[in-house]
Amino acid sequence: MTLHSIDSIREGLRKRSFSAAELARQAIEFAEAENPKTNAYLRFCTDRALAAAERVDRKLAAGEDAGPLAGVPIAVKDVILTKGVITTCASKMLENYVPPYDATAVERIEAAGGVIVGKTNCDEFAMGSSNENSAFGIVRNPVALDRVPGGSSGGSAAAVAQGTAVLSLGSDTGGSIRQPASFCGVVGVTPTYGRVSRYGLVAFASSLDHIGPFARTVKDAATLLEVMAGRDPLDSTSADAPVPNYAAHLDGRVKGLRLGVPTQYMKHATGETAELATRAIERFRRMGCEIRDISLPNTEHAVATYYIICTAEASSNLARFDGVRYTYRSPSSDTLSDMYRNSRGEAFGPEVKRRIMLGTYVLSHGYYDAYYLKAQKVRALITRDFTNAFQSVDAILAPVSPFPAFRIGEKVNDPMEMYLSDIYTITGSLAGIPCMSVPCGATTEGLPVGLQILCDHFDEQKMFRLAHAFENS
């Protein structure tokens, strides 16, 4: 599985070197054998995967187009709904929940011939930066098993890095795709807000949540995003913007592009991470790009702004998990109030409780204007910083994280230090712009480091072109 790409699978099916069903069986067997090392998967979808693969084989046998993802094994983060397959959000609250419908992204992947092989582990309700907050055990980084894979989409990043899936889906609220991609040495993409439908994505912070792809190559990530992207009538926030053929425009032509490097990002970057990012930026200069220093002056307020907005929205969104309908219900409750209190107290983990309490506080009477409303105003300023920057540059280059993958347990007792691991990714999420992580080297300990590329709204095509040229340079 490790060596497969979309193109190699397409070629293998064309030459009849293997069938899609054979590949699906091989993928699931390999993933089941490797999973004890990393705990990247929470469950496998064997019956569903084989049914999808057999549909691909029937289309190929009939001479029909089986789709751009024909036969490709794909893992899906367990906050994205899959009809008939338990979706837990890595929480005891939903440990037995079976969705009655598919997320739009999942529907489109299977319509394009993709084969969903399993659901991946994550931080509970996508809240975390290390994948240590899952109710079903931590995920280990396949590059170094004593290290975290990043979060919250650590299981999806680990599955691709481990080679147990060719592609995977994650969700990103403040860096939850880019940071794990950097830590695991794979490509991770956060598309423009609204580019991919959120229908079927369990909401954490509705104005910040994105679904995006992980892959081993830029081309594969671009292909998967193209399949998922586009207007969805089931999601009023999805954008009615044309979706280009991303892979067709990976022509390597980047000479003359103006690339901005934010001084606010680089002045805090130290050590090998900063050195690798600086080398990557210099590589773009050698490819003929013009490198400019730029200023994003409101960056220093980003972490505070993000954690006020995301916790407020989480507090509202998670109110539905009350023990009444499809969630965990505490067996030891005499009154309705006790049932609410006990069910939420027993089923939610510490990080989820922390964010609900913070969000409830900033939304409470007397604090709404002082915190939440002010945070939204600062968010508008952060967005304006990017709008101004893109008037003089074509894209922005920056580190993904201040450091590479840290050791399991190293930051778990220091929430503030954990939150700061997203300091470089939060700004792009607040602005809703497309951004991605592409591997740019490894430290002396062999830990991967990613370079972040950020572009203007709906300009994923240029972002992919830059990343692909860098990948092949």
Angle, CA of 397, 400 and 404, to the nearest 5°: 135
Whether the CB-CB separation of 26 and 19 falls below 8 Å is answered with no
Q: How far, in Å, CA of 101 to CA of 54, rounded?
A: 21
| 317 phi-psi bin (left φ>0, alpha ψ -120 to 50, beta other) | alpha
Active site residue 77: yes
List the catalytic residue out of 91, 129, 171, 176. Answer: 176
Q: In the structure encoding, which two tokens stand for residue 234, read together?
A: 């089931």
List the catalytic residue out of 77, 119, 219, 411. Answer: 77
DSSP track, 399-442:
ES-SSSPPBTTSSTT-HHHHHGGGTTTHHHHHHT--EEEEEEEE
Q: In the structure encoding, which two tokens stand for residue 111, read together?
A: 């319509």
Whether the CB-CB separation of 437 and 450 falls below 8 Å is answered with yes
| 441 phi-psi bin (left φ>0, alpha ψ -120 to 50, beta other) | left
φ, ψ for residue 207 (rounded to 5)? -85, 0
List the catalytic residue out of 19, 91, 129, 152. Answer: 152
Minimal CA–CA distance to 168: which of 132, 216, 98, 100? 216
Neighbours of 342 (CB within 10 A): 19
Neighbours of 322 (CB within 10 A): 16
Whether the CB-CB separation of 121 and 39 falls below 8 Å is answered with yes
Active site residue 152: yes
Q: How far, in Å, CA of 444 to CA of 422, rounded?
A: 23
Residue type, 459: D
Angle, CA of 239, 241 and 247, to the nearest 5°: 115
> Which residue do the tokens 């170094």 mark?
144
Side-chain half-sphere CA neighbours of 130 within 13 A: 26
Q: Which residues are catalytic?
A: 77, 152, 176
